[in-house]
Structure 1
Protein backbone atom coordinates (compact mmCIF):
# COMPACT_ATOMS: atom_id res chain seq x y z
CA UNK A 1 0.00 0.00 0.00
CA UNK A 2 2.82 2.42 0.81
CA UNK A 3 4.47 1.64 -2.51
CA UNK A 4 1.22 2.24 -4.38
CA UNK A 5 0.83 5.60 -2.63
CA UNK A 6 4.39 6.54 -3.57
CA UNK A 7 3.94 5.88 -7.30
CA UNK A 8 0.44 7.37 -7.32
CA UNK A 9 -2.52 6.62 -9.55
CA UNK A 10 -0.67 7.58 -12.73
CA UNK A 11 2.21 5.25 -11.84
CA UNK A 12 -0.19 2.36 -11.20
CA UNK A 13 -1.89 2.94 -14.56
CA UNK A 14 1.48 3.11 -16.33
CA UNK A 15 2.67 -0.11 -14.68
CA UNK A 16 -0.56 -1.95 -15.49
CA UNK A 17 -0.52 -0.81 -19.13
CA UNK A 18 3.11 -1.82 -19.64
CA UNK A 19 2.59 -5.18 -17.88
CA UNK A 20 -0.37 -6.01 -20.13
CA UNK A 21 1.50 -4.92 -23.25
CA UNK A 22 4.57 -6.98 -22.32
CA UNK A 23 2.38 -10.05 -21.73
CA UNK A 24 0.63 -9.52 -25.07
CA UNK A 25 3.94 -9.18 -26.95
CA UNK A 26 5.28 -12.31 -25.25
CA UNK A 27 2.19 -14.23 -26.36
CA UNK A 28 1.11 -15.02 -22.82
CA UNK A 29 -2.31 -13.42 -23.27
CA UNK A 30 -4.48 -12.69 -26.27
CA UNK A 31 -6.15 -9.38 -27.02
CA UNK A 32 -9.54 -11.14 -26.74
CA UNK A 33 -8.69 -12.05 -23.14
CA UNK A 34 -8.76 -8.37 -22.26
CA UNK A 35 -12.43 -7.87 -23.11
CA UNK A 36 -13.38 -8.68 -19.52
CA UNK A 37 -11.02 -7.93 -16.67
CA UNK A 38 -11.78 -9.22 -13.19
CA UNK A 39 -9.95 -7.65 -10.26
CA UNK A 40 -10.00 -8.76 -6.67
CA UNK A 41 -8.96 -5.95 -4.38
CA UNK A 42 -9.98 -7.68 -1.16
CA UNK A 43 -7.56 -7.13 1.66
CA UNK A 44 -7.93 -9.25 4.76
CA UNK A 45 -5.90 -8.63 7.88
CA UNK A 46 -3.90 -11.63 9.03
CA UNK A 47 -3.27 -12.55 12.62
CA UNK A 48 0.43 -13.10 12.05
CA UNK A 49 2.90 -12.37 14.80
CA UNK A 50 6.23 -11.56 13.25
CA UNK A 51 9.20 -12.70 15.26
CA UNK A 52 11.25 -10.05 16.95
CA UNK A 53 14.60 -10.49 18.64
CA UNK A 54 13.08 -10.00 22.09
CA UNK A 55 10.32 -12.56 21.44
CA UNK A 56 12.83 -15.13 20.14
CA UNK A 57 15.07 -14.52 23.15
CA UNK A 58 12.15 -14.95 25.55
CA UNK A 59 11.05 -18.21 23.88
CA UNK A 60 14.59 -19.58 24.12
CA UNK A 61 14.76 -18.53 27.79
CA UNK A 62 11.44 -20.23 28.51
CA UNK A 63 12.58 -23.46 26.88
CA UNK A 64 15.98 -23.49 28.57
CA UNK A 65 15.15 -22.18 32.03
CA UNK A 66 11.44 -22.27 32.78
CA UNK A 67 10.69 -25.57 31.01
CA UNK A 68 13.18 -27.71 32.97
CA UNK A 69 12.19 -25.98 36.22
CA UNK A 70 8.53 -26.91 35.69
CA UNK A 71 9.45 -30.56 35.18
CA UNK A 72 11.38 -30.66 38.46
CA UNK A 73 8.47 -29.39 40.56
CA UNK A 74 6.35 -32.11 42.23
CA UNK A 75 2.80 -32.40 40.93
Structure 2
Protein backbone atom coordinates (compact mmCIF):
# COMPACT_ATOMS: atom_id res chain seq x y z
CA UNK A 1 0.00 0.00 0.00
CA UNK A 2 1.42 3.37 -0.98
CA UNK A 3 0.88 6.38 1.26
CA UNK A 4 2.75 9.25 2.88
CA UNK A 5 6.47 8.59 3.38
CA UNK A 6 7.09 6.61 6.55
CA UNK A 7 3.42 5.69 6.98
CA UNK A 8 2.25 2.12 6.41
CA UNK A 9 -0.87 0.00 6.65
CA UNK A 10 -1.24 -3.76 6.35
CA UNK A 11 -4.00 -6.24 6.91
CA UNK A 12 -3.67 -9.46 8.89
CA UNK A 13 -6.04 -12.34 9.50
CA UNK A 14 -6.58 -13.59 13.05
CA UNK A 15 -6.49 -17.38 13.24
CA UNK A 16 -8.58 -19.69 15.41
CA UNK A 17 -6.06 -19.41 18.28
CA UNK A 18 -6.18 -15.59 18.17
CA UNK A 19 -2.78 -15.33 16.48
CA UNK A 20 -1.78 -13.29 13.46
CA UNK A 21 1.34 -13.04 11.33
CA UNK A 22 3.12 -9.71 11.08
CA UNK A 23 3.73 -9.12 7.36
CA UNK A 24 7.32 -9.60 6.16
CA UNK A 25 7.64 -5.98 5.00
CA UNK A 26 6.58 -4.77 8.47
CA UNK A 27 9.05 -7.12 10.19
CA UNK A 28 11.86 -5.85 7.97
CA UNK A 29 11.01 -2.15 8.36
CA UNK A 30 10.65 -2.39 12.15
CA UNK A 31 13.48 -4.90 12.69
CA UNK A 32 11.24 -7.58 14.26
CA UNK A 33 12.78 -11.06 14.59
CA UNK A 34 11.59 -14.45 15.87
CA UNK A 35 11.69 -14.47 19.67
CA UNK A 36 11.32 -10.68 20.01
CA UNK A 37 8.86 -9.45 22.61
CA UNK A 38 6.37 -6.87 21.42
CA UNK A 39 4.17 -4.48 23.40
CA UNK A 40 0.48 -4.40 22.49
CA UNK A 41 -1.40 -1.28 23.63
CA UNK A 42 -5.16 -1.00 23.42
CA UNK A 43 -7.68 1.79 23.75
CA UNK A 44 -11.38 1.02 23.29
CA UNK A 45 -11.89 4.37 21.55
CA UNK A 46 -8.73 4.58 19.42
CA UNK A 47 -7.84 0.92 18.73
CA UNK A 48 -4.72 -1.19 19.05
CA UNK A 49 -1.12 -0.06 18.62
CA UNK A 50 2.17 -1.93 18.58
CA UNK A 51 4.80 0.78 19.15
CA UNK A 52 8.45 0.21 18.26
CA UNK A 53 10.07 -1.42 21.27
CA UNK A 54 12.71 1.32 21.47
CA UNK A 55 10.03 3.99 21.82
CA UNK A 56 8.32 2.13 24.61
CA UNK A 57 11.62 1.49 26.43
CA UNK A 58 12.42 5.22 26.31
CA UNK A 59 8.92 6.07 27.56
CA UNK A 60 9.17 3.58 30.44
CA UNK A 61 12.61 4.89 31.42
CA UNK A 62 11.29 8.47 31.55
CA UNK A 63 8.24 7.33 33.51
CA UNK A 64 10.34 5.57 36.14
CA UNK A 65 12.81 8.47 36.33
CA UNK A 66 9.88 10.81 36.97
CA UNK A 67 8.39 8.47 39.57
CA UNK A 68 11.75 8.25 41.39
CA UNK A 69 12.15 12.04 41.33
CA UNK A 70 8.59 12.55 42.61
CA UNK A 71 9.06 10.11 45.51
CA UNK A 72 11.94 12.23 46.80
CA UNK A 73 9.68 15.21 47.50
- Structure showing greater Rg: 1
Using the size of structure 1 for normalisation, the TM-score is 0.31
Looking at secondary structure, tell me which structure has more helix per residue: 1
Of structures 1 and 2, the one with the larger relative CO (CA 8 A, separation 6+) is 2
Looking at secondary structure, tell me which structure has more strand per residue: 2
